[in-house]
Chain A
């Protein structure tokens, strides 16, 4: 058709690389580690899981346990967290028309941190800590949203400002809990939890968190084109027939679900939602139709790599929140300089 080639499109080759990389690094993270497993054995262990396929074991049972019960859930969670936070970041930046906002801007992370800190202080079991963190993440966003809600609409500036207020409040509460916590035992537990780790995620955690996260991502994916229209500004979007309030609510609910799941299971993993979308815009351009899929693949790859670094570079595991910030902040600074504050 004559209109082909009228717009600059990313080449299929680049897309191919973006799609292959997460699967490649996913596989790599299954055999790398202090307990090395031959890549061939990993492949066989995975194939063996497919119903109807029976492979004569050439591996030790420990290898199977490590691959299936430890490394597999961890790598899947890393991919989900990376994809989810990156997508949420891209959606928020489109909605707020601001490159600096992240999924945490409405107070999810502060709320969830408070919930977790409270749970750890009370010595609740870990599953309860996760639930409480999740619930407080949602509560924080609900407070932000209702504070910002005026006369049937929720102006975006009000959302950001309310988010700051709510975050500040919950952060103060976290500090208060830390101050009250016993510094032999509970204070370190809280501090480490807040720095983030994907290492504690097991198959059971994955089983109850993967499906809601994937559903939330699918919804964001389905409305990705409307994000283009919304990013022209609320008034224009409305004149184009978009029910802006409905889209805002959908974006807020899905991103809150993704990020509060993430924070409750893995602690605070910062900077992903800013760096990855910005980076992806440089590759595929600003159109959310391409940007959202790109953030899924690149975000998943990024967190899988970072999580591997966390467990491999030193004898004790490095909290992932430290690495994403140490890597993310300078990379973001570089991207900002390179794009001169623009978007691509």
Chain B
């Protein structure tokens, strides 16, 4: 159904100065889909995400969010539709975590308004859902990287957007925190949220998401359901190095994973 399409990228090109990053790129995302974007360093995954979020501008072509050109949205209106979860970073001011989450209410507030008790309750309940309510009073600069990433996810959810964009949500995180973040992304997807995430870890695609798009230096190489697209051929072509896929079983649990072939 065409009206299910919530993000539509058509003949999009982007270049830094004269150097094109990608050209004539086409991509459609339907409501409720969870799309992972894979690709080598510098292929323009994050740039694509930035263009979809409206913070970078296309050189040519069009990106429509709910049938409206992304560049035509007023910032506040756009923030109600699109939530962007940034890579975990250290903030300059040691605000309490709940204050950071509460900032997600900004698009719903008037210019001179600040969040009230209802906003605080919403922020807290979202933190409870993500299992980080105990951090509410903690200083945002003094919690771990994984916790900070979850606070940023909570803040984005506080915007109550239709679409969530994640830029490498698990980079810089250890195993436990990777699991924590991925589990929450999966939960959001199961609840029907539309999600696009970029990742440097092909293995994560099997954990989260029903669709994967692989990008090379000339745009999208393969795009489709995870089981169809995650093949040794596609991965090898995308990364330019032989990649093997293994299937494993431990107890009842079956899992797939891939690894570059170094020999």
Contact = CB atoms under 8 A, between A and B. Distances in A.
B94 interface: yes
A6 interface: yes
B103 A229 contact: yes
Contacts of B106: 226, 229, 240-242
A204 interface: no
B104 interface: yes
Given A3-B121, A241-B106, A97 B92 contact: yes
A6 B137 contact: yes
A8 interface: yes
A344 B136 contact: no
Interface in B56-103: 75-80, 82-84, 86, 91-96, 98-100, 103
Which 8 A-B pairs rank lowest in CB-CB distance, beginning with the nearest?
A241-B79, A241-B107, A225-B114, A241-B76, A286-B93, A239-B84, A97-B92, A240-B106
B53 interface: yes
A289 B78 CA distance: 25
Contacts of B75: 238, 241-243
Interface in A177-222: 222
B159 A240 contact: yes
A285 B155 CA distance: 20
A344 B94 contact: yes
A125 interface: no
Contacts of A48: none
Interface of B: 53, 55, 75-80, 82-84, 86, 91-96, 98-100, 103-104, 106-107, 111-115, 117, 120-121, 124, 136-137, 155, 159
Contacts of B103: 228-229, 232, 240
A238 B55 contact: yes
10 contacts: A3-B121, A7-B96, A7-B99, A223-B111, A225-B113, A239-B82, A241-B79, A242-B106, A287-B95, A344-B94
A231 B137 contact: no
A285 B84 CA distance: 27
B125 to A, nearest CB: 10
B195 to A, nearest CB: 16
Contacts of A287: 95-96, 99
Given A1-B117, A239-B86, A7 B92 contact: no
Contacts of B95: 228, 286-287
B99 A228 contact: yes
Contacts, number: 88
A94 interface: yes
B129 to A, nearest CB: 15
B93 A343 contact: yes
Contacts of A240: 79, 103-104, 106-107, 155, 159
A256 B75 CA distance: 27
A12 interface: no
Contacts of B86: 235-236, 239
A239 B79 CA distance: 6
Interface of A: 1, 3, 6-8, 94, 97-98, 222-226, 228-229, 231-232, 235-236, 238-243, 285-287, 289, 342-344
A294 B88 CA distance: 31
A3 B124 contact: yes
A343 B142 CA distance: 13
Contacts of B112: 222-223
Nearest to B152: A236
A6 B114 contact: no
B111 A7 contact: no
A303 to B, nearest CB: 25
Contacts of A342: 94
A136 B17 CA distance: 38
Nearest to B84: A239
B137 to A, nearest CB: 5
Given A238-B55, A287-B99, 14 more contacts: A7-B96, A8-B137, A94-B93, A223-B112, A236-B86, A240-B103, A240-B104, A240-B106, A240-B107, A240-B155, A240-B159, A241-B79, A285-B96, A289-B114
Contact of B98 (A6, A94, A229): A6
A285 B103 CA distance: 17
Given A3-B120, A241-B79, A231 B93 contact: yes
A231 B92 contact: yes
A339 B127 CA distance: 29
Nearest to B79: A241
Contacts of A226: 106, 111
B131 to A, nearest CB: 16
B21 to A, nearest CB: 18
B46 to A, nearest CB: 12
A6 B75 CA distance: 31
Contacts of A238: 55, 75
Interface centre among A8, A98, A238, A342 (most CB of B within 10 A): A238
B98 A7 contact: yes
Contacts of A231: 91-93
Contacts of A232: 91, 100, 103
